[in-house]
Amino acid sequence: MTTGSVTVLKPGLETTVQELPGRIGYLEQGFPISGPFDSWSFRQANILVGNPRDTAALECQFLGPGLRFDRDLSVAVTGADMGPKLDGAPVPMWQTLRVRAGQTLELGPALTGARAYIAVSGGLDTPVVLGSRAVFHMARVGGQALVKDEVLPVGSPYASRGEILAIPEASRPRFSVDRRMEVEALAGPNDSWLDPASVEMFFSADWLVQAKSNRTGMRLTGPEFAFADRAINKKSDHGQDPSNIIDHGYPLGAVNLAGQTPIILVNDAPSTGGFINPFTVASAAFWKLAQARPGEVLRFRRIDREGAARLRAALDRVTSEGVAIRV
């Protein structure tokens, strides 16, 4: 049930409503999963306002929005530091904020990281499309990026003890301070299409994040790949370029190789296509991609499925209810 609303005073840069687990079950018709790019920050924002951690909230990219709350609410801002201000006065991130009807929250450009999250008590109650409120704004699935004067419905608040909560610094995601990030990744599905030396090279080289990066993909600049024989001598059905393969499904987080340009396929990425995916970023490391800025350098650390499972367990612990402390 909708009980209140948020009015958009300033849309920010492609600010969208996101929800977990995203749009499940429609990849076969070409609909991406969508959902929050940095699920760590997203879930902690929800925990701070007393919501189940997967509740619909806003994802802000590089430049945050201005919002007016039309009733008393709890709000929390996490993720990239966009210098949030309530009625013009700076307010802390990673902490429950009590907001009165009529107050305005304004976020600016990201100072560290790239994506911030704004959760409100009760969650955003936008329409469910194909099973999810997650927005794929480029195809207008589940809605679009926020526009000025738009009014977002807010759901009934969940029962809460009305405490002011905070995420201790040690439990927050750590963003790059030296413009470098280490990202855990696994070889496959198509690593056998590369020369073995190029597989090793991928895990040892510096990869620069290009400005042409968004919620569909992150383009990287780095050294050239050499291909294995199977990529060069293959049936014509696969296509002409060594990086071409018969159209196949694209895993979320795959490092897709189009010619010589690696593109990491993220939440709104194409579901299928005709290029190989030699590597895949571990699911619990996606949040790092969300917070990497153009011009920053990624290094990929090779892990196996057991390592990925340990990362998932660790991420689950820091995004569980008990992580927040009373202030």
Q: By CB under 8 A, is residue 136 in contact with another protein?
A: yes
Shortest reach from residue 46's CB to another protein, in Å: 20
Q: By CB under 8 A, is residue 301 in contact with another protein?
A: no
Site string for another protein, 185-204 (x = CB under 8 A): xx-xxx--------------
Q: Which is nearer to another protein, 59 or 191 (CB)?
A: 191
Q: By CB under 8 A, is residue 231 in contact with another protein?
A: no
Shortest reach from residue 257's CB to another protein, in Å: 13
3-state secondary structure labels for all residues of the chain: CEEEEEEEEECCCCCEEECCCCCCCCHHHCCCCCCCCCHHHHHHHHHHCCCCCCCCEEEEECECCEEEECCCEEEEEEEEECCCEECCEECCCCECEEECCCCEEECCECCEEEEEEEEECCCECCCCECCECCCEHHHCECCCCCCCCCEEEEECCCCCCCCCEECCHHHCCCCCCCCEEEEEEEECCCHHHECHHHHHHHCCCCEEEEEEECCCEEEEECCCCCECHHHHCCCHHHCCCCCEEEEEECCCCEEEEECCEEEEECCCCCCEEEEEEEEEECHHHHHHHHCCCCCCEEEEEECCHHHHHHHHHHHHHHCCHHHCEEC
Q: By CB under 8 A, is residue 250 in contact with another protein?
A: yes
Q: By CB under 8 A, is residue 20 in contact with another protein?
A: no
Which residues between 255 and 274 bind another protein (CB under 8 A)? 270-274
Q: By CB under 8 A, is residue 29 in contact with another protein?
A: yes
Q: By CB under 8 A, is residue 241 in contact with another protein?
A: yes
- Residue from 10, 71, 248, 299 in contact with another protein (CB under 8 A): 248
Q: Which is nearer to another protein, 222 or 307 (CB)?
A: 307
Q: By CB under 8 A, is residue 107 in contact with another protein?
A: no
- Residue from 118, 252, 292, 298 in contact with another protein (CB under 8 A): 252
Q: Which is nearer to another protein, 166 or 284 (CB)?
A: 284
The closest of 191, 193, 4 to 99, measured between CA atoms, is 4
Q: Which stretch binds another protein (CB under 8 A): 2-10, 86-94, 146-154, 243-251?
A: 243-251
- Write out the residues near another protein by the rule CB under 8 A: 21, 24-31, 33, 129-130, 136, 139-141, 185-186, 188-190, 235, 237, 239-241, 246-254, 270-274, 277, 280-284, 305, 308-309, 312
